[in-house]
Structure 1
Amino acid sequence: MMHTSLNLRLATLATLVLAAFGQTTPAIAQSMFGQQEIDQSRFVAVASPYGGNAHQLLIIKQLSNVRSCWSESGTSPTVINPLLVEFDFTDICGRSTDSNGYSMRVGGEDQNWRYSFRVVKRDGDLQLIAAPNIDRTSPELLIARTRGYTSGFAKFYFEPGWRLAERSYQGTSVGHVYLTNDQSIASLNATAIAARPVFTRPVATNPINPINPSSPVFTNPSSNTVVIAPISVSPISVSPISVPSVQAPRPVTPQPKKVQKRRSSWFQQLFGR
């Protein structure tokens, strides 16, 4: 018994030291720790409110049957009442509130600091997301959802393939909780990428009439595509314009200038000059 207790202490100390210095690679963790299946009914993953409208992951474990650690009510979402806050839950309940108490393990490999858990409000739901910390090009992984929104405590329901387990050292549980999936990380990433919505711009195959204020415009809600109803356009008749004829100007013939005879004076008439 003392030997087992010493091994657990050494395993816990090694985990804390390696995690503090960022040296717990999946290969090291895989060789050091194992995974132990648990009774899922004695655990619950909870969306725990903090700081107003934000939520974080809380995992509660029923260690003994002395008192209930939580209660459930309703559906969509299922509201959690954390009863353990009403009494001294030492040796009765266990709780994990951060990465020291839980982590992700997929395909038999510990992911440790490579992923962090976030609770996001999305599509009228609270979703538990594993977000990549190292390779930011990797997709987020959807692990669980509450099936409805609430600002209080709510139960997480795991997506297919995901479940809770415990970390073990030499066959003995060390109390650390895994959110685990048997698929490899590559397979999970491929599934997440394939599930992403694809946005494509609509391509017009036929000429579209120019938008006219009198043309009715309809929107298809399923595709957000604007459809312009065709309208009939009457041909415009153009009357010929009559242009008045203009005659060319007649040539003007210059008339000889009449020279008036100068009248002779009486002197000239009398003397002939």
Structure 2
Amino acid sequence: MSRTYLRAVGLTAVGLLNAGLTQASAARTLFDSTAIPQERFAVLAQPIGRVQWKLLVLEQIKTQPRCWRERQDGLVEPSLNRFNFSAICKRYLDSNGYSLRSGGQDLGTRFRFRLKQSGTSLRLEALDPQQRAPLLVGQARIPRRDLNGFVQLQLESGWALERRVYQARQLNHLYFAHQEPVNRLLALANSHGHRSVFSRLGTPMPPIAPPPLPAARTTRRRTTRLASNAPIRLQVIPYRR
């Protein structure tokens, strides 16, 4: 009876495991993606307050009027606010509009994007709370901080914008996509992180040689040789009562 029960429990566990794997596989293949013309999009960082940044992606659907323009100071002005941009421009403002995709796998529920500033450099990173090193997706130089001027980010090599596809139908959702599996990207990010830690320590210095030991001094001691045949005089102390 106990063997039959244990066997039934084992079969049930295997069935649940297979069902879980099937659901996970179905979730991975639920959405597909397709390549899109990169020149139609601008990945921008919008300054918020004194130190914060917000990620924004603009799409130019029609050629005119322009949805953004570059300023002489190196910043970008989103000009779509000057006209009715319906059917001309499209905005992707948050995780409802974009997410991460790597190796053909949707990772929107696992990774979140952040903009991290270091001096005049701005990095677009994808962060998994369970991992130490983030994935570097894009970066830019900050010419200056202006609440009316956005910073345009350049995607790193291997990264590109793609559009989400469901049953051959394109959706209003973008991917920051990479062809490599995410585990490989994380391994590379961790290795780069270790190298950067050691680089901050500087070039290792050779060990300092110890100073030479002082040369041993030769000393000569004068010795008095006693004649073997001469008597030795001892001092006698008189005894007193």
Tell me whether the two structures share a fold, i.e. TM-score over 0.5.
yes
Structural mapping, 1:100-179, within 5 Å: 100-122=96-118, 124-133=120-129, 136-137=130-131, 139-148=133-142, 150-152=144-146, 153-179=150-176
Unpaired runs of 5+ in structure 2? 1-22, 218-234
Seen in structure 2, the aligned counterparts of structure 1 residues 62 and 186 have a Cα distance that, compared at 3 Å, is same
Q: What number of residue pairs does the alignment pair up?
A: 202
Alpha-carbon deviations, 1:25-54, whole Å to 9, x = none? 874443222112111111010111113211
Asked if structure 2 preserves the Cα contact closer than 8 Å seen for 1:105 and 1:180, the reply is yes
Secondary structure of the corresponding residue to residue 195 of structure 1: helix
Q: Which residue of 2 aligns with 1:66?
A: 64
Asked if structure 1 preserves the Cα contact closer than 8 Å seen for 2:126 and 2:135, the reply is yes
Asked if structure 2 preserves the Cα contact closer than 8 Å seen for 1:26 and 1:112, the reply is no
Seen in structure 2, the aligned counterparts of structure 1 residues 165 and 200 have a Cα distance that, compared at 3 Å, is closer
Structural mapping, 1:1-273, within 5 Å: 27-73=25-71, 78-122=74-118, 124-133=120-129, 136-137=130-131, 139-148=133-142, 150-152=144-146, 153-198=150-195, 199=197, 222-223=202-203
- The share of aligned pairs that are identical, in percent, is 29
TM-score, normalization: structure 2?
A: 0.69
Unpaired runs of 5+ in structure 1? 1-24, 202-220, 238-248, 255-273
CA distance in 2, matches of 1:62, 1:106: 25
CA distance in 2, matches of 1:30, 1:40: 25
Alpha-carbon deviations, 1:172-192, whole Å to 9, x = none? 211101100011111111211
The CA RMSD over aligned residues, in Å, is 3.4
Larger Cα-atom Rg: 1
How far 1:56 moved relative to its partner?
2.0
Seen in structure 2, the aligned counterparts of structure 1 residues 192 and 253 have a Cα distance that, compared at 3 Å, is closer
